[in-house]
Chains A and B, each alone.
Chain A
């Protein structure tokens, strides 16, 4: 049994908590949140020990691992403290507000040999995993262009503020929404090296961006476009997609459906010339407990298994998430 604690029982934290609560190899030894109401509800109705002070939780519950799902501005200091105590860490995305904060944490986790993971769940989505396999095999030839997109209905009218609408705390579409797409591009193709131009638009929010558009170049020389908007109510929920053009074909994928076009008959097994369509239902491994999507359970299972030494700590390491933080900083800097 891996003894796990959770700090931050907001939207993502509660979801992680339920997944951990149902995981056969995890024992939730403590939950901490500053909201009295949330903690009282958990105290009354859940079996988990509850705290309003995370330091107290760490002292009393002595977790092997902690899931951190607090506003982004607290990530760096909290994660550092946990690593110094020898605790494995899963932290929500984005990793750190400033790229330089991540460098120290990467070193610390490495030197202490601690499992470190960031919640970019798209890497556990079947369609995107298949895109990665195709690209690794060079299936669509030399890549020359990409388009990464995400749209959803988060802020669709002027409204009151939370930490997500405060740029100092890690709010805004770039940090919250676009980070997923950037991370996916980093993973599928290559880390972002430079940003030629970017535009961060406030549509309904007063202080933060609601949409991000950017032209970027990757370390492998490929260039492409980022287009993300969380004020787009034509989408019922967040939809993330990538389109990748190569000399031998093209890949268009979202979290549900993968479409691949091959120019000629020389293509991987299971594919043929012309358009091929595959669905996430065929590409997704079943999970023991389902909530909102297989990928959320799969990422937490990966974290637990990495602690147990059953899988390498490779997917969504601090190191890979730091590259996304870096790209976020580049996009901010390139604003026109």
Chain B
């Protein structure tokens, strides 16, 4: 299954702005109502984008409901869920501690049953906890086409730093087994992550990474990223192509379209004009680089 060339992101809907807290608040006001999100998704669809890559934020459940109610309109529409919505858990850990957070979010009476047998057998059940958390996050997408399921960068990169290769592999395997979906990994450390996934036997993984002309959030350096794209086998999605606004859209898109081995480009925008402009730029530079290899 090939991913679409252009994927639509959701940061703008949830006040995620990497360069300005003020803009972040303005976005929060603008997208207060779900109708505003749906309207922007419509603009993206009109521009030919059929894939929405989004965090498992509580509000996405409402969007999923709208999508389920209009099967004809959304028949080709796909969602790539990105889990978990990390701030939910991070704030919970500050308040409740790690155990308290697990108690709160691991569904059902699983946790109770875990303790019945004492703590000793916990160690072999961490992966079951992970599977239950994945299932909890996936609930809202029932009946919706989710061909790729992503692990958010906070978790991917944490596991990478902790050397927890087996958990990354387990995520990959479970998503395939249970949801018949490809696993994707979002990261700010693409070359190092690819090494670890390959060591774990994951072939040709989908990796979504910050890739931009100024080297913003490209840990290990821009050169290493370019070399990795040139020489290694994986399916790259470029995100943060505008580097938080440090590069002009034209320059930004020209750079990314000129790179080898980028299967998809992820971007988010609030207005119809910005969506259309970005899509046109990608089409324009894709043509330039496919006709002049």
Contact = CB atoms under 8 A, between A and B. Distances in A.
Interface in B83-122: 87, 90-91, 93-100, 119, 122
A194 interface: no
B194 to A, nearest CB: 14
Contact of B161 (A22, A35, A44): A22
B166 interface: yes
Interface stretch (A117-125, A287-295, A310-318): A287-295
A45 B217 CA distance: 27
Contact of A37 (B16, B28, B99, B218): B99
Given A154-B94, A289-B192, A281 B162 contact: no
Given A236-B87, A289-B192, A241 B28 contact: no
Nearest to B102: A37
A254 B21 contact: yes
A10 interface: yes
A17 B25 contact: no
Given A11-B94, A160-B100, A287-B219, A17 B162 contact: yes
Given A40-B123, A45-B167, A241 B98 contact: no
Nearest to A23: B161
B243 A11 contact: no
Contact of A286 (B25, B161, B219): B219
A14 interface: yes
Contacts of B166: 45
B91 A257 contact: no
Interface in A21-49: 21-22, 35-38, 40-48
A47 B162 CA distance: 8
Contacts of A42: 162
Contact of B126 (A44, A176, A289, A292): A44
Contact of A291 (B90, B95, B158): B158
A18 B157 contact: yes
A115 interface: no
Interface string A202-238: 0000000000000000000000000000000011110
A47 B199 CA distance: 14
Contact of A237 (B87, B95, B215): B87
B288 interface: no
Nearest to B240: A281
Interface string B196-207: 000000000000
B97 to A, nearest CB: 4
B66 interface: no
Size bin of chain B's contact surface:
35 or more
B16 A236 contact: yes
Nearest to A45: B164
Contacts of A68: none
B18 interface: yes
Nearest to B214: A281
B22 interface: yes
A17 B166 CA distance: 18
Contacts of A45: 126, 162-164, 166-167
B24 interface: yes
Given A236-B87, A290-B217, A291-B154, A162 B97 contact: yes
30 contacts: A10-B98, A11-B98, A14-B158, A14-B162, A17-B161, A18-B160, A18-B161, A21-B162, A21-B163, A22-B189, A36-B122, A45-B163, A46-B164, A160-B96, A164-B94, A236-B28, A239-B21, A256-B18, A256-B19, A256-B21, A257-B22, A279-B20, A279-B244, A280-B19, A281-B19, A281-B244, A286-B221, A289-B219, A290-B188, A291-B188
